[in-house]
Chains A and B, each alone.
Chain A
Amino acid sequence: MINWIIGGIIFGATVLIIVRSISRMKKGESGCCGCTQSKCNCAVK
Chain B
Amino acid sequence: MPLKFALVGNPNCGKTTLFNEITGSTQYVGNWPGVTIEKREGKAKKIQEDVLIIDLPGIYSLSPYSMEEIIARDYIINEMPDVVINIVDGTNIERNFYLTIQLIELGVNVVVALNMMDAVEAKGDKIDLKILEGSLKVPVVPITASKGKGVTELLEKALNVAQTAAAAGGSPLLQEIHNESIVASIEEIENRIIPTLESKVQNPRWTSLKLLEGDEKVQEALKVSVESLNQIKVYQEDLEKKFDMDIETIVADSRYRFTTDVTRKAVKKKAQASDLTISDKIDKVVTNRVLAIPLFLAMMFGIFSVTFGTVGSSTIDFVDGLVNDTIATFVLSLLEGAGAAVWLQDLIVGGIIGGLGSMLVFVPQIMILFFFLAILEDTGYMARAAFVMDRLLRKLGLSGKSFIPMLIGFGCTVPAVMSTRTLENEKDRRLTIMLVPFMSCGARLPVYALYTAAFFANNQTMVVFSLYLLGIAVAVLSGVFLKKTILKGEVAPFVMELPPYRIPTFKGLMIHMWDRGKGFVKKAGTIIFAAAVVIWFLQYFNFSFQAVSEPADSILGAIGNAIAPVFAPLGFGDWQSAVALLTGFIAKEAVVSTMGILHGVAEATESSTDLITALRTVFTPLTAYAFMAFSLLYLPCMAAFATIKREMNSWKWTLITVGYSTGIAWVVAFLIFQGGKMMGFN
Q: Which residues of A contact B (CB under 8 A)?
A: 2-3, 6-7, 10-11, 13-14, 17-18, 21, 25, 28, 30-45
Contacts and interface: CB of A to CB of B under 8 A. Distances in A.
Nearest to A11: B533
A43 to B, nearest CB: 5
A44 B42 contact: yes
Interface in B398-436: 408, 411-415, 418-419
Contact of A38 (B27, B530, B639): B27
Contacts of A17: 526-527, 529-530
Contacts of B526: 17, 21, 32
B515 interface: yes
Interface of B: 16, 23-28, 35-38, 40, 42, 338-341, 343-344, 347-348, 352, 408, 411-415, 418-419, 441-443, 515-516, 518-520, 522-523, 526-527, 529-530, 533-534, 637-640, 642-643, 646
A10 B523 CA distance: 16
B415 A7 contact: no
12 contacts: A3-B341, A10-B533, A17-B530, A31-B527, A33-B640, A35-B441, A37-B35, A38-B27, A38-B37, A43-B26, A43-B27, A45-B42
Contacts of B415: 30, 33, 35, 37-40
Contacts of B533: 10-11, 14
A2 B340 contact: yes
Contact of B527 (A7, A11, A21): A21
Contacts of B419: 39
Nearest to B640: A33
Contacts of B516: 34-36
Nearest to B19: A38
A18 B534 CA distance: 10
Contact of A35 (B37, B338, B412, B530): B412
A7 B347 contact: yes
Given A2-B338, A33-B413, A14 B534 contact: yes
A34 B441 CA distance: 11
Give the residue among A10, A13, A36, A43 with the most B Cβ atoms within 10 A: A36
A6 B646 contact: no
A42 B519 CA distance: 8
Nearest to B41: A44
A6 B344 contact: yes
B24 A30 contact: no
A33 B25 contact: no
A14 B442 contact: no
B522 A32 contact: yes
B393 to A, nearest CB: 23
Given A31-B642, A35-B414, A45-B23, A10 B527 contact: no
A25 B642 contact: yes
Nearest to A34: B519
Chain B binding surface SS class: helix
Given A13-B529, A25-B638, A32-B527, 8 more contacts: A3-B341, A13-B530, A34-B519, A36-B26, A36-B28, A38-B16, A42-B522, A45-B25
A38 B38 contact: yes
A17 B522 CA distance: 12
B442 A31 contact: no
B527 to A, nearest CB: 6
A39 B416 CA distance: 9
Contacts of B639: 25, 30-33
A23 to B, nearest CB: 12
A32 B530 contact: no
Contact of A39 (B347, B414, B638): B414
Q: Which 6 A-B pairs have the closest CB atoms?
A: A35-B412, A34-B519, A39-B415, A36-B515, A33-B414, A17-B530
A37 B411 contact: yes
B96 to A, nearest CB: 21
Contacts of A31: 527, 638-639, 642
A45 B16 contact: no
Give the residue among A13, A37, A42 with the most B Cβ atoms within 10 A: A37
Contact of A30 (B338, B414, B441): B414
Contacts of A45: 23-26, 42
A18 B533 CA distance: 11
Contacts of B344: 2-3, 6-7
A41 B37 CA distance: 12
A35 B512 CA distance: 10
Contact of B25 (A25, A37, A44): A44
A18 B530 contact: yes
Contacts of B638: 21, 25, 31
B28 A43 contact: yes
Contacts of A42: 519, 522
A4 B25 CA distance: 41
A28 B414 CA distance: 11
B518 A36 contact: yes
Contact of B442 (A3, A28, A32, A35): A35
A35 B347 contact: no
A22 B131 CA distance: 56
Contacts of B523: 32-34
A18 B341 CA distance: 26
A43 B412 contact: no
A28 B25 contact: no
Contacts of A35: 411-412, 414-415, 441-442, 516, 519
Contacts of A28: 646
B28 A38 contact: yes
Contacts of A3: 340-341, 343-344
Contacts of B36: 38
B26 to A, nearest CB: 5
Contacts of B443: 33-34
A5 to B, nearest CB: 10
Contacts of A37: 28, 35, 408, 411-412, 415
